[in-house]
Amino acid sequence: MFLETKHMLASRDIARLRDLAGELNFVDGRASNPANETKINQQADPKSPLYAESSNIVMAALGASRPFRDFALPKRIAPPMLARYGPGMQYGAHADSAYVAVSQGTLRSDVSATVFLSEPDSYEGGELLIHLGTETVKVKGRPGMAIFYPSTTLHQVAPVTKGERLVSVTFIQSLVADEARRTVLYELSEVSALEGLAMKWDNRVRLEAVRNNLMRMWASD
């Protein structure tokens, strides 16, 4: 299961991230995954003075997004990183690494996120391809849109043939490691939100009790 949020970033945040991308130093994307020969892109250098600002903008937006919190049940979030693709760049089919290095050690990647920053008609190719069995979902979002999907999912970035694709990517360690259990909890949250005050109060209390008790059973400290 995956989630799209169409307006996770405000217009001012998108504009600032684009400005930062023009000022930040970018390095070979294989710096974080040297074993993958199909990763041909560039990513912001963590040593760059403006890296923290670019990361904090996206981190703040994630923290303010209720749909994201209900879907991912975040425990820890890796610092979001700007990545760009010019003509000839791509990222071949892969599932994300189980553990990601962060300043505090390692973070288990349960949910992956891509936040789009470029206008979709400003570049050709560059679709995020998510492979679900025999089907492939193509995603080329408008600026500010975010997509969240299990890190175990086979996915790739199609070759860019014209223009530049700019995104921010990050990885989330969830309170609930098991994807199926996260989906159950998310569906319960959605039912509660959609029914709202139309649901009898006693039934709503019971529904919330079920969700909270499942969280107690499944969540890690």
- Check residue 35 and give its pLDDT: 75
Lowest mean pLDDT segment, chosen from 122-126, 185-189, 194-198: 194-198
Structure tokens at 126: 């560059």
Q: Is 73 exposed, middle or buried (0-12, 13-18, 19+ CB in 10 A)?
A: buried
Q: For residue 200, what are the contacts with CB-CB under 8 A and spacing of at least 6?
A: none
**Domain 3-174 superfamily per CATH:** q2cbj1_9rhob like domain (2.60.120.620)
Question: Does the pLDDT value for residue 55 go beyond 80?
Answer: yes
**Domain boundary assignment for the chain:** 3-174, 179-218
Structure tokens at 54: 């670019």
Average pLDDT, stretch 38-56? Answer: 94
Residue-level pLDDT at 193: 83
pLDDT tens for 1-40 read: 899 999 999 999 999 999 999 999 999 988 777 778 899 9
Render pLDDT for 122-171 as a digit per residue (tens, 0 to 9): 999 999 999 998 899 999 999 999 999 999 999 999 999 999 999 999 99
> Is residue 199 scored above 90 in pLDDT?
no
* pLDDT tens digits along 65-89: 999 999 999 999 999 999 999 999 9
Q: Is the pLDDT of residue 101 over 90?
A: no
Phi and psi angles of residue 114, each rounded to the nearest 5 degrees, phi first: -125, 125
Using pLDDT thresholds of 50, 70 and 90, give the confidence band for residue 192.
Answer: confident
- pLDDT for res 220: 87
Q: Compare 53 and 203 and report the one with higher pLDDT.
A: 53
Alpha-carbon gap, residue 169 to 91, rounded angstroms: 13
pLDDT reported for residue 121 = 96
Cβ contact 176:111 at 8 Å: no
Is residue 7 within 8 A of residue 144, CB to CB? The reply is yes
Question: Does residue 105 have a pLDDT over 90?
Answer: no
Distance CA 178, CA 148 (A): 15
* Measured distance CA(48)–CA(62) in Å, rounded: 22
Q: pLDDT-based confidence at 198, cuts 50/70/90?
A: confident
pTM listed for this prediction? 0.92
